[in-house]
Amino acid sequence: MGIVYNQSYRTTAISYLGVGIGYINVLWLFPSILSAEQIGLLRLLPSIAFMLLPFAQLGLSQSVLKFYPEYAKKSNGSSELFSIMLIANLVGFGFMLIVLKIFDDHILQFFESKSALANDYIHVATILVLILSYHAIFESFSRSILKIVFPGIVKDVAIRLLYTALVGAFYLDLLTFPEVVNGLILIYLIGLSLLINYVLKKKSLRFTINFKSLKTSEFKKIGQYSIFTLLGASGTYIMLNIDQVMISSLIGLEGNGIYTTAFYIAVVIEMPRRAITNITTPLVSKLFDDNKSDEINKLYKQVSINQMMVGSLLLIGILVNLKNVYALIPNNEVYLAGIKVVYIVGIAKLLDMTFGMNGEIILMSKKFKYNVLFTTVLAIVAIASNWILIPIYGIEGAALATAFTLIVFNILKLVFVKFKLGLWPFSLKNILLAIIAVSTYYVIIIIPYFSNIWLDFLIRSAITTIIYVIPCVLLKISPEINRVIAEKSGFKL
């Protein structure tokens, strides 16, 4: 786990630098300059692109993670795998364009009633699909060589700073709003260029159309795995983005602006998970390749308790300071409608983190084909629950749909991993940690609020950290986190 904590620690630090930039953007800059409708549009277009991404990418990024350890052992194998991915991605994007053209009228009708403005910019989402698909491939190659820090800088810091510059240029009347929307293409293109340059410097990969070291059977194996992961990834991407698309269609772009602002406040808690997943996925692939199931089970438990421990602290910190957070948002009377979304999505994301890396284990195992079944269920549940709950409860219905979908999805994967692979992530420490977390929350919420927002935030956050961390450390909930604290503080724990 040494490399996991070394890389994930640095990546988490970068992620939270990005979070800081994101908070300035989402909670202050955007509401100060843009209307909720304009914010909703800027968030909707990338969401549409991410929903379409698996169908253009054909599951290739996961195939890189799966097969890189095997092909890296062959002479020129890495470059041949690299070339296959670049070619196949372009073919996949071409097929996606054909399908979009066939259903063009239906797509436009979907947004015509409540979000007609979105139809003027569908081309932006389409171009973003191509850029994001290649970004995912290069990111997977970077992850395969256990270099996850720079991709995190690009995704979490550089792109958010470019968003800041884009909206700032609109504020200074250097750009019109239509130019801002089209500027999304430039933002993600710059991010892709930075990542390509980094990967090619770190790893000697060259494009080739001569695949001498790859047999026909190996092409078939890669193709089969990619198709199955395509079907699997499509369900995941639908679940992650369907709420914004359906809110925009059923309520409008303003509702999406309010919802995504609240969602961003809550989703911050899962940043550590993203960092840990980036480094554990290739490790799990290698452990399966070496038939080390005991090591996988150990890693499974460590990831579960560590993600739950960090996620609980962050969620408590957000919820007890939620009044302060919303007080800082310009025109907050508009955005207060999303306050319950923060609670619902925050708890759902914490549960998702606590279930650990069951999805990564399934994808990297020989049982990866079953992931198609789970993600098919996921997509159906996500679409149905949003369709039912949004008309009844509005944006809170979208949050409830997200929570319900995540819980169903994780329970299915948990049971499968237990009975098919003999792996289990939980222990009594998870129960003990839940007691500590709930107790901490209820102690903090009885503390009266100070009139000064910043003073209240600092005091409330400090007390939360002390009350939560001390019992976790003393009870040795996470030996790995205890070790990190000991190394940083100099105390023997």
Q: Which letter does DSSP use for residue 212 in this model?
A: T
The Cα 104–Cα 107 span in angstroms is 5
148 dihedral zone (left: phi>0; alpha: psi -120 to 50; beta): alpha
Q: What is the pLDDT of residue 209?
A: 64
Q: Which letter does DSSP use for residue 291 in this model?
A: T
The model's pTM is 0.84
490 dihedral zone (left: phi>0; alpha: psi -120 to 50; beta): left
Q: What is the pLDDT of residue 2?
A: 47
Residue found under tokens 């509401």:
31
Nearest to 382 by CA among 347, 354, 348: 348
Q: Which amino acid is at 372?
A: V
Answer for the pair 235, 295: CB distance below 8 angstroms, yes or no: no
Residue 379 tokens read as 């997509």
The Cα 81–Cα 97 span in angstroms is 25
Nearest to 88 by CA among 282, 219, 228, 231: 219
Residue 69 tokens read as 């350890």
Residue 108 tokens read as 């436009």
Q: What is the pLDDT of residue 127?
A: 95
Nearest to 249 by CA among 454, 386, 129, 410: 386
CA 468 to chain centre: 26
Q: What is the pLDDT of residue 12?
A: 67
The Cα 272–Cα 310 span in angstroms is 8
Q: Which letter does DSSP use for residue 330 in this model?
A: T
Q: Which amino acid is at 55?
A: F
Nearest to 337 by CA among 262, 250, 249: 262
Within 8 A by CB and 6+ apart from 194, the residues are: 154, 158
Residue 426 tokens read as 């939980």
Within 8 A by CB and 6+ apart from 81, the residues are: 64, 67, 68, 71, 214, 222
Residue 3 tokens read as 């490399």
Residue 168 tokens read as 């700032």
DSSP string, 68-92: HHHHTTSTTHHHHHHHHHHHHHHHH
Give mean pLDDT in consecutive 10-residue pieces for the chain, a chain of 493 residues: 54 77 90 94 94 83 70 66 80 89 84 89 94 87 74 89 96 96 96 88 65 63 75 79 93 95 90 73 77 85 90 95 93 92 96 88 81 84 95 96 93 92 91 96 93 93 95 89 74 61
Alpha carbon distances (Å) from 131 to 53, 206, 289: 10, 20, 31
Q: What is the dihedral of CA 449, 455, 460, 465, to 10 degrees?
A: 180
Answer for the pair 252, 112: CB distance below 8 angstroms, yes or no: no
Answer for the pair 402, 343: CB distance below 8 angstroms, yes or no: no
Q: Hey, is 67 helix, strand or coil?
A: helix
Q: Hey, is 491 helix, strand or coil?
A: coil
Q: Which letter does DSSP use for residue 113 in this model?
A: T
If one counts every other C-beta atom within 10 angstroms of the C-beta of residue 451, the result is 6
Answer for the pair 347, 403: CB distance below 8 angstroms, yes or no: yes
End-to-end CA distance of the chain: 19
Q: What is the pLDDT of residue 369?
A: 76
Residue found under tokens 């460590």:
302
Answer for the pair 114, 250: CB distance below 8 angstroms, yes or no: yes
